[in-house]
Structure 1
Amino acid sequence: MAKAAQNPVAAMISVPFQNNTNFNVGPEEETQNILNIQPVIPFSLNENWNLITRTIIPVISQPRFAPGQDRENGIGDVQFSAFLSPVQPTSGGWIWGAGPIAQLDTSSDDRLGAQRWGLGPSVVFLRPTGAWVYGALINNVFDVGGDDDRDDINQMLIQPFVNYNFPDKPGRYLTFAPIVTVNWEADSGDKWTVPLGGGIGQIIKWGKTPVNLQASAYYNVESPENGADWQMRLQLQFMFPK
């Protein structure tokens, strides 16, 4: 069950609630909080292929970026991904999925989103081997419309992940899953956000429902001006295996 939770294209319904608290954000060095609600719903296309859909709904508490400005709370831009993934791994044991990612102009305030629509490719690949699960998720979103007065979107996300599952402690694991982002439209010194860190997770059961609990922390060794210094990530994931 832990390895299924670590597989972004597992053919299993799950609902993760991932809370990211970013510290020292903006010129006022205040705290930003982003709760990502990320339902994953798989569809069986035939005996060889699955379609795995993932929606990310960000609930944001945005700090002020100027004196006299208030904190803004609301919904950010929703992202939707659809991965076409083979039912069986490759002969080398690799699991993969590929498809589009769409960014929707859904923010409840102009400070919480890009005010533009986006589209691009997304791919994930991973390999479970023994106690380890390792791989990466990569996507790039380009703007395809919206408010022409707002900045263009050309942003890449790279999330490598390495998990070690303790053989003698079922459901417990160590995780390394930093979210690296690159804003290709930004100035040269402000393009990259590169976190380093890690955390620990445990699968438990609430009644008959498996639940994945995870806590981790990441320090940004590279970040744009007014970006966070470090991040605390807490996750609660409900899993509904067949």
Structure 2
Amino acid sequence: MSASRHGWRRGWRRGWRRVSWIGLLIGFSAAVDGTARAQSPSQADDLARQLSNPVASLISIPLQSNLTQGYGSLGAWRNTLNIQPVIPIRLNDDWNLISRTILPIIWRPRTHVGDPSTTGLGDVTASLFLSPSRPINGLTLGVGPVFVLPTATDPLLGAGKWGVGLTGLVLHQTKTMTIGMMANHIWSLAGPANREEVSNTLLQPFIAFPLGEGRTLSVNTESNYDWVHRQWTVPINVQLSQVMKLGGQMLSVAAGPQIYVVKPTGGPSWGLRFSLTFLFPEK
């Protein structure tokens, strides 16, 4: 491969990294400087409250950038941009079906001397939650299947296996707090024999505190247990978010740190998360 082509690929990767998270920083700055606001504090607070509920009847498209550091002997940085559309479907007066999809675009750097780096699409995860339209004894519930599609454009970016499993959610929401738990377990179903089997459990407890005027402080952990390698990965995420209106579009911007309190050998130590969420409330 020619030197000019190598240079083009390096330039493209650098450009992609900048677009994937610096653009989200710009959106966060717009919220902070107060030049764009929601129509009213009550509307902003209502949308912020719905965003704290993963199975709320709110169409949203989050763009979430996770910039993490500490991979391999080089202590490398890695960036994953998750495109996460959430689409609720009203089945009848009593039941909703909520689709949550995660489409990751990954920049994976060299983690050891001589290793390759690559950028591309990872495996897609799609979850469906069947949820009562109203809380039951103060609890919002959801349960359904979860699927993993082997869409990775490079073997380094995905498991290479079709996956299936179960997912569920329970939460309690008041005017001053939202607390709950999402969880799933995924088994590999089919795929190349030369790729490892998959058996992963995800536990995601979360708590969110509304601060008024569309602001929310949230804390969660996305704890993953790999049953094949018997290894936990436990990041703690803290985020401050703001609902705003830019032109005619309702948005939520958020940012915060990630600290990995348990990690596999060669895994990340810490990171930063930025997100920009497009909101489409019912009119």
Note whether the superposition's TM-score is higher than 0.5: yes
**Aligned partner letter, 1:22:** T
Quote the residue 1:223 is aligned against: 263
In structure 2, C-alpha distance between the alignment counterparts of 1:110 and 1:27, rounded to whole Å: 21
Quote the residue 2:165 is aligned against: 120
Quote the residue 1:84 is aligned against: 130
- Rg (Cα) greater in structure: 2
SS at match of 1:111: helix
Q: Say which of 203, 207, 211 aligns to 2:243.
A: 203
Quote the residue 1:93 is aligned against: 138
Deviations along 1:105-144, whole A, 9 cap, x unmatched?
Answer: 1000000000111000000111111210110110011000
In structure 1, C-alpha distance between the alignment counterparts of 2:120 and 2:133, rounded to whole Å: 38
Q: Say which of 101, 104, 107 aligns to 2:149.
A: 104
In structure 2, C-alpha distance between the alignment counterparts of 1:44 and 1:129, rounded to whole Å: 23
**Aligned partner letter, 2:66:** N
Q: Would you say the 8 A contact 1:83–1:98 is kept in 2?
A: yes
Quote the residue 2:120 is aligned against: 74
Deviations along 1:9-34, whole A, 9 cap, x unmatched?
Answer: 01111000011111011232101110
**Aligned residue pair count:** 236
In structure 2, C-alpha distance between the alignment counterparts of 1:31 and 1:177, rounded to whole Å: 22
Is 1:134 equivalent to 2:179 in the alignment? yes
Unpaired runs of at least 5, structure 2: 1-46
In structure 1, C-alpha distance between the alignment counterparts of 2:218 and 2:269, rounded to whole Å: 20
**Aligned partner letter, 2:122:** G
TM-score by length of 2: 0.81
**Aligned partner letter, 1:179:** E
Cα offset for 1:239? 0.7
Cα offset for 1:170? 1.4
In structure 1, C-alpha distance between the alignment counterparts of 2:177 and 2:120, rounded to whole Å: 38
Q: Would you say the 8 A contact 2:222–2:236 is kept in 1?
A: no
Q: CA RMSD in A?
A: 1.1
Is 1:12 equivalent to 2:58 in the alignment? yes
Higher strand share: 1
Is 1:172 equivalent to 2:215 in the alignment? yes
TM-score by length of 1: 0.94
**Aligned partner letter, 1:131:** T
User: Which segments of structure 1 move beyond 2 Å, counting only runs of 4 or more?
Assistant: 65-70
In structure 1, C-alpha distance between the alignment counterparts of 2:236 and 2:151, rounded to whole Å: 30
In structure 2, C-alpha distance between the alignment counterparts of 1:117 and 1:89, rounded to whole Å: 34
Cα offset for 1:210? 1.8
Q: Would you say the 8 A contact 1:178–1:218 is kept in 2?
A: no
Sequence identity of aligned pairs in percent? 37
In structure 2, C-alpha distance between the alignment counterparts of 1:197 and 1:148, rounded to whole Å: 36
Quote the residue 1:26 is aligned against: 72
**Aligned partner letter, 2:169:** V
Deviations along 1:139-185, whole A, 9 cap, x unmatched?
Answer: 0110000011111100111111100001xx31111110221111111
Q: Say which of 182, 186, 193 aligns to 2:225.
A: 182
